[in-house]
Structure 1
Amino acid sequence: MGTLDWLIVAVYGVIVIAIGLAASGKQNNTDEYFRGSRQLPWWAVGLSIIATSFSAASLLGGPGQGYGHGFLWLQLQLGDLLGYGLVIGLFLPFFVGLNLTTAYEYLEKRFDAKTRSLGSFCFLLFVISRLGALLFGASVVVSTVTGLDLAIAILIVGIFSIVYTVTGGITAVVWTDVLQFAMIFVGIGAGIWAAINGVEGGFGALWQAAGEGDKLAVVDLSWDPDNLYSLPTALFGYGIFAFAVAGTNQQSVQRYVSCADVPSARKAILLGWFSGFIGVAATLLLGVLLFGFYSLNAGLPETVGGDGILPFFIVNQVPVGASGFLVAAIFAAAMSSIDSALHSVSTCMTVDFYDRYFAKNSKYDSLTVAKFLIIVWGILGILSAFYVASTEQDLLPFLVTYSAIFLGPLLGIFLMGILLPRVNANGAFYGTVAAVILIVIGTEIGWLGNLGIWRSALTIPTAVLLGYGISLFGGTPSRRSLAGLTIWTKEPAFKPIGRPGLEDNRDNDDEYDY
């Protein structure tokens, strides 16, 4: 890292902080802080959707995947398209049309308060576990390419993310995500430029070497449930997992509900998918070209592989200037995920717990509480990253398992609510709890050890079947808990006349006949 490289990174940091400060002047209430008053342009929300999931691990893992497997990882984008398509068709009209702030408000409207709290709690467990890993992964890369001590890198990444997230709310998060996604492409472009100019013959020579190494394949039509690089597994196994992430993850839902209406949210989702497709393709292309580069130029140690290929290339091959853009891109990829995690956790804890249970008897307004929670969870995330650094454990398998354990049953709750009018509040709640317990036990004793990406495909129907079965032993849901809240009962909800005190759903009020 030369002076010019540090200057590029510093300028990027100043711009991010400036966006946060500019947005802070407009954050006067929770609707502005959590949803941007639903005035954010759909194209900015769309880029923010993909930037949120495009972490530092994505920027490093993409070139590693391209180096080792060519373009086969691109097949997973078809699974993402399936997942987003299901969200658009099933969930989006309810999330945006009901004027929600969190996805889990729907669960109270359809079921009851305890089911809403359960859904929000499952999401919180998922994000909290992920936050430390995001901070640690980003900090390792920053430490490697800059020479900074790992502890200092963790503090820099963590504190920087906290400052602009707490300052500007969702508006700052979305607009910095747009900047960060643009910076990611600038960084990838700098890496591709360095690789092309590092060999005689340029792009043509790199492409030919990659072809000779069988790195140009895009599709694998073989049926292998254990192989994520086969098209059926990438489309259906990963597609179901992507549906769970895109449909129940508040980090994504918060973007949808920040759009002005359903058509705008639909366009934002489709733009997010397309941008992700281009972004993944670009990182894979960089990896394929790096394979060609090191095939023509000796110098990649056998101990370097996977996520370590790009940092090694930056340190040893990328010239001054281009290194700064690549490091800034890694910062951008890291913070676009961290800021979203912090803001979504704060939103859920404020809206689903503080506003729901404590605000009436508290002297603190919700906006103050939300900002305070971002700081608290940012500090906890930093401490979690230090813990991860001390254990030196491999987190990827754990995080995949953890995501399936909580997001799979969480998707089951929403599917019960939207698709099955017969499911009542107790069925949804206790069926989901039972499903989580069964999955945890099955994982611990080895029943589910070999399912891999298909684990979500098992956990979702498990929760749905248990929830439906338990519901059969109870009353049918009330008319008010169904009207406008399922795909089969689209008539608008009504207010009961002369029957006060029905704020909570009841399983035996105004029953439908089935």
Structure 2
Amino acid sequence: MNALDWIVLLGTMLGIAAYGTWRTRHTDNLNTYLKGNRNTGWVTIGISVAATQASAITFLSIPGQGFESGIGFVQNYFGLPLALIIVCAVFLPIYRRLGVYTAYEYLGQRFDQKTRLLGAVFFLLQRGVQSGITIYAPAIILSTVLGWRLDLTIIFIGTIVVVYTVTGGSAAVNLTQKWQMGVIFGGMVTAFIVLLTKLPAGSLHVAGALGKLEAVDFSFSPDRRYTFWSGLFGGLFLSLSYFGTDQSQVQRYIGGAALREGRLGLMFNALLKIPMQLFILLLGALVFVFYQFQPDPPVFFNRVEWQRHIDGPDSAKFRAIDAKHAALHGERQGKLKTWMGLREGTDPGAEAAARSALIAAQNEVDAVRKEAKAALTAANPRINTKDSDYVFIGFITTQLPHGVIGLLIAVMFAAALGSKAGELNALGTTTTIDLWRHFRPLAEHDEARNVRNAKGWTAFWGVFAILFAVFVSFEENLIEATNIIASLFYGVVLGIFLVAFFCKHVRGTAVFWSALAAEALIITLFFLRNVFPALKFSYLWYNVIGCAACVLFSLLLQSLLRSGPRAAAEARA
């Protein structure tokens, strides 16, 4: 990075944060602090919903996902549009009618306080952990680019977002996210255009030949992570729980000017999400094609870590892997040129043979990459060898012109700040309203004290996220790690809400214990997946299983309670 990149990066990141802090510095009303401005329109709501979901992980990890596995990850979002329609029809009107601060207040009114606390605790557990991941993701970028210590970088990024989120609350989040999304879309379109200028003709055909454009898999195999069916059904339940019960999203749309504004904002996302994710995945697939034509692509995309071992005591081993990779890459390039020459020819048999040879050459290169990761693990078992998160940032810093580099890194930070702010705002709100107020009632006529409490809890979760990111490493691709953590809780929480909406005879005690049993089932399935092969299936199905188990257990337990001696007492609960 040069001076121009630094001007673009710091000007964008600090400018937006300072603007949000200054504009909302006098927010001293609890309703405004937690819900935002009541005059918020649907465009702001829609952008805020998108920005809260589209963290730096989206723009850091999803291109790496496209590079590594192709665009099939888009199936993860196939259930999202239907989920948002259901949220608009069922969830949103109830929240608006009751005037709640959090989704879990509704559970307290429908069931009892213990069920409300359970829903809030489930949210705080999974979203608190995920908030650490959303700080960790951009910290990887800055530490890799600048050679800074990762822990200090995490603290630096976390502190920036905590300051303006604590200062302005939901109003600051909504205000800054509009500008952050503008930077994000501008930067990603710029990256795509620059990439296209660097690619030869026929690049999409290369991506297709090497399996990167297989968007839909209709397989019924449960162990395949992304299929049409897991995305449609598992993705439906994941999205329904995220948008309908996760306070980080609920808080974005319950405070608008009217019910219509919230619905339009959510429908904006129903139309936007799949094309946006497909675009980012395609960007990653094209980066994969780009490296096919480069003379010396890296064998391991965390270049700093690889160089450390190249210069270390086992230098000979790692240099040998480098040389082997370079030789096989050269052979792959030769087979690629042969196939491209035959692709538009008149001999289909020769073209098919050349394509098979190209795929075989690609498999050999992939095998060397696995060998490199195994060598890194042998040298240091604590190393994270999942390098797909470094693919896009490596492309940005080595292949794009100065100024554009600063803009693309600003994209990552804008996404990180927007998503992180939304999460902290929701965590602070839920802790204040559902936990703190339960034990220490808010001061009815002391708004300043109430806002101070909310700010204090927002700051607490900011510090928690920073500490979590500092001390925990992630074995999965970051976007997958986020979805896996969510899937462990989302299905059960959604089950609680579906029982509340549609099973009017079920009372609080039944759903409380059923939710705990369903969550225990999901955790057991997750930890036994590598012990019993029959239990190893896509994490998206955890959302379906958790929801179904919670609903079924609730119905069964309520029947038992109703037929037992405690029926009268339960009916009054």
Q: Report the 3-state secondary structure (helix = DSSP H, G, I; strand = E; otherwise coil) of the residue aligned with 2:440.
A: helix
Q: Residue in 1 aligned with 2:549?
A: 462
Task: Compare CA radii of gyration and give the structure with the larger one.
Answer: 2
Equivalent in the alignment of 1:342: 424
| Pairing 1:184–2:181 present | no
Corresponding residue for residue 145 of structure 1: 145
C-alpha contact (below 8 Å) 1:50/1:273 kept by paired residues:
no
Partner in structure 1 of residue 490 of structure 2: 407
Larger CA deviation: 439-448 vs 365-374: 439-448
CA distance in 2, matches of 1:271, 1:101: 23
Corresponding position of 2:469: 385
* Structure 2: distance between partners of 1:96 and 1:300: 54
Task: Select 2:218's aligned residue among 216, 221, 244.
Answer: 221
Structure 1 position 287 matched with structure 2 position 369:
no
Q: 1:303 to 1:466 in 2, by over 3 A?
A: same
* Contact 2:507-2:571 within 8 A present in 1 as well: no
Matched with 1:241 is 238
Aligned Cα root-mean-square deviation (Å) = 2.5
Q: Deviations over 1:421-467 (max 9, x none)?
A: 11011112121122223333343444754352201111111111222
1:297 counterpart = 2:294: yes
Question: Separation in 1 of the partners of 2:528 and 2:75?
Answer: 32
User: CA offset at residue 321 of structure 1?
Assistant: 0.5
Which amino acid is 1:282 matched to? Answer: F
Query: Per-residue CA shift, 1:162-221, capped at 9, x if unaligned?
Result: 01111111111122222222222222123223323334x5xx453344344343443333
**Cα distance change of structure 1 residues 210 and 398 upon mapping to structure 2, 3 Å threshold:** closer
How many residue pairs were aligned? 476
Q: How does 1:22-421 map to 2 (within 5 A)?
A: 22-199=22-199, 201=200, 204-304=201-301, 306-359=388-441, 365-389=449-473, 393-394=475-476, 399-421=482-504
| Counterpart residue number, 1:430 | 513
User: Is the Cα–Cα contact under 8 Å of residues 102 and 250 in structure 2 kept in the other structure?
Assistant: yes
- On the 8 A contact 2:506/2:555 being kept in 1, the answer is yes
Contact 2:225 2:538 in 1 (8 A): no
Change (3 A) 1:32 1:388: same
State the AA in 2 paired with 1:231: F
Identical positions, percent: 30
Question: CA 1:21–1:335 in structure 2 vs 1: closer, same or farther (change >3 Å)?
Answer: closer
* SS in structure 1 of the partner of residue 198 of structure 2: coil
Q: What is the deviation of 1:111?
A: 0.8
Structure 2 vs 1, CA of residues 439 and 233 (structure 1 numbering), >3 Å: closer, same or farther?
Answer: closer
Equivalent residue number for residue 383 of structure 2: none
Contact 2:139 2:154 in 1 (8 A): yes
Runs of 5+ unmatched residues, structure 1 = 477-505
| Native 8 Å contact 1:355 1:366 kept in 2 | no
Contact 1:67 1:215 in 2 (8 A): yes
Contact 1:65/1:287, CA 8 A, preserved across alignment: yes
Query: Aligned letter for 1:140?
Result: I
Give 1:393 deviation, angstroms. Answer: 4.6
Deviation at 1:398, TM superposition (A): 6.1
Task: Describe the superposition over 1:323-373 as per-residue Cα deviations: whole angstroms up to 9, x where unpaired.
Answer: 001100111122222111111110001111222330358987220011111
Q: Deviations over 1:245-273 (max 9, x none)?
A: 22211011111212222222111111123
Rounded to whole Å, the distance in 2 between the matches of 1:405 and 1:72 is 22
Q: Taking structure 1 as reference, are residues 398 and 12 closer, same or farther at Cα in structure 2, changes over 3 Å only?
A: closer
| Residue of structure 1 in register with 2:334 after alignment | none
TM-score by length of 1: 0.86
Deviation at 1:145, TM superposition (A): 2.5
Q: Which stretches in structure 2 are left out of the alignment for 5+ residues?
A: 302-386, 564-568
State the TM-score, normalized to the length of structure 2: 0.78
> Is the contact made by 2:225 and 2:537 (CA closer than 8 Å) also made in structure 1?
no
The 8 Å contact of residues 184 and 332 in structure 1, kept in 2 or not, is answered as yes
For residue 256 of structure 2, what is the amino acid of its counterpart?
Answer: C
